[in-house]
Amino acid sequence: MELTDVFKEKRTLITGGMGFIGSNLAHRLVSLGARVSIVDSGDSSMGANPFNLADILNQVDLKVADLRDDQVIERMIAGQEYLFNLAGQASHAGSMEDPLADLEINARCQLSIVEACRKHNPGIKIIYAGTRQSYGQVRQLPIDESHPIDPVDYNGISKRTGELYHLVAHRIFGLNACSLRMTNVYGPRMRCRDGHLNFIGLWIRRIIEGKPIPVYGQGTQIRDPNFVDDVIEAMLLAAASPISNGQVYNLGGLEAVRLIDLADRMIETAGGGSRVLKPFPEARRRIDIGDYQANFSKIQRQLGWQPRVALTEGLSRTIDFFRQNQEHYW
Ligand SMILES: NC(=O)c1ccc[n+]([C@@H]2O[C@H](COP(=O)([O-])OP(=O)(O)OC[C@H]3O[C@@H](n4cnc5c(N)ncnc54)[C@H](O)[C@@H]3O)[C@@H](O)[C@H]2O)c1
């Protein structure tokens, strides 16, 4: 199956398309010849960044609006063939600081999106951005989709709730929805200003600035970073196949590494830099999930997805991007 054949001229809507993953997806869909609409609140306290879309702005239809206003999605959903539903409050710490805003965006808003699809466009295909955070403390590695859901923070609850609205709407109303549970996604266009959304962006910024990377604890936690292009490939494959309807899939990277080794790999890839071990801030330690490595054999088996970008290559491409564009991201 050629993705160009699937998406050429197709009407696609991306919620959260000014953010990290959504903007990379928009670039890919434009390159596949799709007709791309985007809705995003443009909230710079999240990952929204106008520069993320600067070079395709005349090829997409961008509406800056808050999806908490239910009429926004009702107006935009008609006639769309695919919905990539990425708008979300993605900060784990942020969900503990402002739980009601997190609930509103990740849960109530998701119900309103699902209901708008059911009422105004029941044939649309929806890809929802789920998260490994919903699993909570991991019981054994690598973990598959049957692992218990036992979140360690409010974000894990709200994101799972948003996911469930999609899955239940599939079961009851036949909505063509699925969820991809993502792990640490990294790559060009990610937020680097601080560690609010992800630590990898902050680490990259500090390397480029010649400052030491802060690694919490002993840096022994395991993560399986997933390069953004691979995540987008998974979204497109899931969108293109009816097999994914009603399904949840784990995504994961090619390699699982200890954070301290990830820091060293970044330093090596960047050709310089340093790291420093720091005590875990208490608020972060309390919501840490420990080690994580996804078993993504289900999506491999059902949709033929496979992460392809090796960690060193992904880091190199990410560092190059931010060296060239840092003034738009710091
Ligand atoms: N980046 C990761 O590692 C990761 C991991 C697991 C899950 N996810 C999920 O993937 C999705 C995208 O993540 P990202 O890293 O691109 O985050 P991001 O913060 O860069 O992008 C999210 C976008 O959603 C927009 N948004 C938020 N609330 C909105 C609202 N009420 N109305 C309109 N737009 C709104 C923001 O302005 C932002 O541009 C999120 O739902 C997140 O929970 C991301």
Per residue, the 3-state secondary structure of the chain, as one string, reads: CCHHHHHCCCEEEEECCCCHHHHHHHHHHHHCCCEEEEEECCCCCCCCCHHHHHHHHHHEEEEECCCCCHHHHHHHHCCCCEEEECCCCCCHHHHHHCHHHHHHHHHHHHHHHHHHHHHHCCCCEEEEEEEHHHHCCCCCCCECCCCCCCCCCHHHHHHHHHHHHHHHHHHHHCCEEEEEEECCEECCCCCCCCCCCCHHHHHHHHHHCCCCEEEECCCCCEECCEEHHHHHHHHHHHHHCHHHCCCEEECCCCCCEEHHHHHHHHHHHHCCCCEEEECCCHHHHCCCCCCCCECCHHHHHHHCCCCCCCHHHHHHHHHHHHHHHHHHCC
Q: Model-level pTM?
A: 0.98
pLDDT digits (tens, 9 = 90+) for 98-133: 999 999 999 999 999 999 999 999 999 999 999 999
256 lines ligand 1 (CB under 6 A): no
Atom 10 (ligand 1): residue with closest C-alpha? Answer: 129
Average pLDDT, the chain: 96
Q: How far does residue 276's CA lie from ligand 1's centre (Å)?
A: 29
* Mean pLDDT (whole number) for 55-83: 97
pLDDT at 115: 98
pLDDT at 35: 98
Domains of the chain, first to last: 3-189+226-252+294-310 (3.40.50.720)
198 lines ligand 1 (CB under 6 A): yes
Atom 15 (ligand 1): residue with closest C-alpha? Answer: 20
Which atom number of ligand 1 is nearest to the Cα of residue 104? 31
53 lines ligand 1 (CB under 6 A): no
